Amino acid sequence: MELPLILASQSPARAGLLRKAGIPFDTVVSHVDEDALVAAEGPLSPRETALRLARAKAEAVAQLPGSENRLVLGCDSVFELDGVSYGKPYEAEVAVQRIAAMSGRTGTLHTGHWLVDTRREPALGEGAVASADVRFAHMSAAEIRDYVATGEPLQVAGSFTLDGRGSVFVEQVVGDPNAVIGLSLSTLRELLRAVGVSATAWWDGTAQSDRS
């Protein structure tokens, strides 16, 4: 039996997906300064940005005490509209403007995944991006204001969620819906296979929740 995965993210949505998939994990927050990292990297595409941030989170946690001989997963999501990257809006007015621009249109949600295997010397890193196109309904100004007032879109990439209130505005998803939520389980399965680990090896019926 492998030790629990380390999830380098404090996202409740990602934690929930791992729980439902029966993959035990510990949570360790990376504290990576995402804005500073993106600024230092220079121009990156939305897809590249998602993968670079995921890698930074995983590698930061992999260097911390307690990560030895473990598998560390970093994830980051970036929403793309008209070729522009959109992360978390943080402020209500920013969220209102972004959601208004998304109304009645289709954007792409990119989720980067980076898995560090610290059981090897040197540590081995593998990464992949899962993307999905999201078509939004036409939203009235009142609906947008009501949604932003809940606070839900302020701390999520693209200013919407698929597993919360924002789902009422999503008409169609083309691609892996879990990637839109924040973690593609099929992508994780392939990354685990690349380092010789089967996700099903954890299915012993005893480890079903976050141990952190």
Q: 3-state DSSP helix/strand/coil percent for the chain, to nearest 5?
A: 40, 25, 35
Task: Report the pLDDT value the prediction gives residue 56, as an integer from 0 to 100.
Answer: 95
Residues 193-205: pLDDT tens digits?
A: 999 999 998 887 5
Q: Residue 103 has which token pair?
A: 């109304």
Residues 143-189: pLDDT tens digits?
A: 999 999 999 999 999 999 999 999 999 999 999 999 999 999 999 99
Interval 23-39 mean pLDDT: 88
Alpha-carbon span 197 to 3, nearest angstrom: 11
Alpha-carbon span 36 to 68, nearest angstrom: 27
Alpha-carbon span 75 to 7, nearest angstrom: 8
Alpha-carbon span 56 to 200, nearest angstrom: 27
Distance between alpha carbon 34 and the CA centroid of its chain, in Å? 13
Alpha-carbon span 135 to 169, nearest angstrom: 9
Q: Tell me the CATH number for domain 5-202.
A: 3.90.950.10
- A 10 A CB-CB count for 65 gives 5
User: Are the C-beta atoms of 187 and 176 separated by less than 8 Å?
Assistant: yes
Alpha-carbon span 21 to 46, nearest angstrom: 27
| pTM summary value | 0.91
User: Are the C-beta atoms of 51 and 130 separated by less than 8 Å?
Assistant: no
Residues 110-137: pLDDT tens digits?
A: 999 999 999 988 888 999 999 999 999 9
Distance between alpha carbon 38 and the CA centroid of its chain, in Å? 16
Task: Report the pLDDT value the prediction gives residue 24, as an integer from 0 to 100.
Answer: 94
User: Are the C-beta atoms of 26 and 72 separated by less than 8 Å?
Assistant: no
Q: For the chain, what is the mean pLDDT?
A: 92
Residue 76 appears among annotated catalytic residues: yes
pLDDT higher than threshold 90 for residue 76: yes
Alpha-carbon span 176 to 165, nearest angstrom: 19
Q: How far apart are the first and last CA of the chain?
A: 19
The active-site residue, picked from 35, 76, 82, 204, is: 76
